[in-house]
Structure 1
Amino acid sequence: MSYNLSSYGAQMYSAMQLAMAETYGVDTVARMFSVEPTIAQELNDAITAKADFLQRINVVLVTEIKGQKVFLGTSGPVTGRTNTKTTDREAKDASALDENTYELSSTESDVSLSYAKIDAWAKFPDFHQKYSAAVQKQIALDRIMVGFHGTHAAVQTDIVQYPLLQDVNKGWLQQAREQIPAQVLKEGAVAGKVTMGPGGDYENLDALVHDTKQMVDERVRDGGDLVAIIGSDLLAADKAKLYASQGGTPTEKERIESQQVIATYGGLPSFSVPNFPVNSVLVTSFDNLSIYVQDSSWRKQTVDNPKRSRIEDYNSRNEGYVIEQLEKFALTENVEVI
């Protein structure tokens, strides 16, 4: 059954198109256009602002689709002394890594709005701002999901087969599995899983986080910037244990709820991040995780498609995921609470 835009809905759509054209500095958004790098930076910043986690890591524009990593940190001490009577002073390569390149993949975020929804939302004078904010927030959440669940970049993605966007790009965790398998713990005494609880591989979450931290290279382990990102199931299990032992006391129950159990695990500040695998623990620093976006690659077009009674908003860009220092990354996954 076809649906036509009401006159007011059509008016609001026209206003949205004009506002978009003004924002992106083009005559019309009805034709595919390339977003200028300076405006792409503003758009990227707006998306980043929609998720606290993205504001903590690096989300940066780069010029090339393939190249050298941007934020190579130091991988160990650089201080010493040389007896120059017998030996030449030698500058140390503090950023030497086995894998120090990145490669971006074409990524699409295409959104449709039915005529019926436009008519329903047309009463809001800030319709364009509400729409843009909603799309930007979803792109932000999608970026996080791909970072933690992405395993490969398929030529044709399939949201039904890969509902966690596993086929959009190769995320941080998959890169670690392939490039630093010794720093990824997947199983303990029982094949295929790591157990946590009485009689398990780890008695509690503190011990699990502590041992995950030990897989980080000792040269960067005590820099003071490591954090633990912990899956929601593991946090919930620890919270349930505290409820069982102390939840009957009103003051203790309030402490558990308001302070999210305790501030640290295994001596590290702990965080719960949207779309992080529920049964995993990641130890790294926030600035060790990056998303690169090619500055000249963002393209956009908004199309009125009466054949489907909807407006279609097409967005594409080249982006990818980077672990800046591989030795500063450790992951324990497949954790089962017993």
Structure 2
Amino acid sequence: MAHSLSAYGAKMFAQLQLAIAESYGVELASEHFSVDPTIAQELNDAITAKSDFLQRINVIGVTEIKGQKVFIGTSGPVTGRTDVTENDREAKDASALSQTTYELSSTESDVGMAYAKIDAWAKFPDFHQRYSAAVQKQIALDRILVGFHGTHAAVQTDIKKYPMLQDVNKGWLQQAREQIPAQVLQEGKTAGKVTLGTDGDYANLDGLVHDTKQLVDERLRDAGDLIAIIGSDLLAADKAKLYAKQGDVPTEKERIEEAQVIATYGGLPAFSVPFFPVNAVVVTSWDNLSIYFQDSSWRKQTIDNPKRSRIEDYNSRNEGYVIEQLEKFAMTENVELVA
């Protein structure tokens, strides 16, 4: 590892710091600074753009660290008729029945890049854009990872003990386990697992997704926007069955590989998304999943750290995960494939 930046690498790093300072409207990027809320939103949009999944859900800035959820769904019909000769018209309370508050946690995304990598990248004229894109993409991936695997927000996180970032924040799945346990299926006939296969709790993935959907509130079940997010192991097993039956037909094999919507299971369009547990199924709508960040909380600093032979980019903000309408979320997990 290089113990100092090359002359050209140092020049490009200096240009990087100037570009960051100019982008964020500050004098020095090497000093810890608060990001203007408008620019924080632009930064968040750039991070979101690095992931198809994040673009499907809500990733939005909020003012308070605690508050009311932004997208409050409706709990059922609001249409009717009143005989006004006998009764007054009454406005129906259509707000969702579930918990409507959120709380954000301090979240750090600190990136170190070795001098050798900076020197290698310095030859590119768009060095600043490449560097920023790399940092933004990793933050995007981390957000998804926490959303599906986060179980708690530790005061001091430990990536060795929790490599899937389980201790960074409570993600969507953990919130469902705690807040709507009746809508989370974790075991069937055998304790601790739901079996999938000819002799299992469910003979096929269609049946499993269908029953997961039944855990969604009946008033929201047929709104037309529900989707199924399915773990890769379950999809792979089902795809293997399809290959066995039709894989020798080139057009069918091509259809299997290229489908953006993997298939339709239980009457719902099914999707595979990054870092989703391999043995689980979630039924909800895209707009029911949210990541909130406090728009005034983003802090940033980019420094040269010769003690570690790297440059370091510090990013922090208050952030949290929200299921907008708990009644519209259902999950089956601990699925085990059996013969």
Q: Which residue of structure 1 lines up, in the alignment, with residue 240 of structure 2?
A: 240
What CA distance in whole angstroms lies between the structure 1 residues aligned with 2:273 and 2:255?
21
Q: Which residue of structure 1 lines up, in the alignment, with residue 126 of structure 2?
A: 126
Q: What count of residue pairs does the alignment treat as equivalent?
A: 338
Contact residue 290 and residue 324 of structure 1 kept, 8 A: yes
Q: Which residue of structure 1 lines up, in the alignment, with residue 305 of structure 2?
A: 305
Going from structure 1 to structure 2, the CA distance change for 1:61 and 1:95 (only over 3 Å counts) comes to same
Going from structure 1 to structure 2, the CA distance change for 1:97 and 1:119 (only over 3 Å counts) comes to same
Q: Which residue of structure 1 lines up, in the alignment, with residue 71 of structure 2?
A: 71
What does 1:152-163 correspond to in 2, within 5 Å?
152-163=152-163
The aligned amino acid for 1:233 is D
Give the Å deviation of 1:337: 1.1
Contact residue 2 and residue 308 of structure 1 kept, 8 A: no
What does 1:17-36 correspond to in 2, within 5 Å?
17-36=17-36
Sequence identity of aligned pairs in percent?
81
Instruction: Summarize deviations over 1:125-156 as a string: whole Å, max 9, x none.
Output: 11111011011111111101111110000000
What CA distance in whole angstroms lies between the structure 1 residues aligned with 2:279 and 2:12?
45
Q: Which moved more, 1:246-255 or 1:286-295?
A: 246-255
TM-score, normalised relative to structure 2: 0.97
What CA distance in whole angstroms lies between the structure 2 residues aligned with 1:2 and 1:118?
10
Q: Which residue of structure 2 lines up, in the alignment, with residue 55 of structure 1?
A: 55
TM-score, normalised relative to structure 1: 0.97
Q: Which residue of structure 2 lines up, in the alignment, with residue 266 of structure 1?
A: 266
1:327 aligns with 2:327: yes
The aligned amino acid for 2:83 is N
Unaligned runs of at least 5 residues, structure 2: none
Q: Which residue of structure 1 lines up, in the alignment, with residue 168 of structure 2?
A: 168
What CA distance in whole angstroms lies between the structure 1 residues aligned with 2:195 and 2:163?
27
Unaligned runs of at least 5 residues, structure 1: none
The aligned amino acid for 2:179 is Q
What CA distance in whole angstroms lies between the structure 2 residues aligned with 1:129 and 1:137?
12
Tell me the C-alpha RMSD between the 2 structures: 1.4
The aligned amino acid for 2:330 is A
What CA distance in whole angstroms lies between the structure 2 residues aligned with 1:262 and 1:8?
47
The aligned amino acid for 1:54 is L
What CA distance in whole angstroms lies between the structure 2 residues aligned with 1:207 and 1:132?
45
Going from structure 1 to structure 2, the CA distance change for 1:321 and 1:6 (only over 3 Å counts) comes to same
What does 1:180-199 correspond to in 2, within 5 Å?
180-199=180-199
What CA distance in whole angstroms lies between the structure 2 residues aligned with 1:228 and 1:182?
18
What CA distance in whole angstroms lies between the structure 1 residues aligned with 2:101 and 2:260?
38
Q: Which residue of structure 2 lines up, in the alignment, with residue 213 of structure 1?
A: 213
The aligned amino acid for 1:274 is P
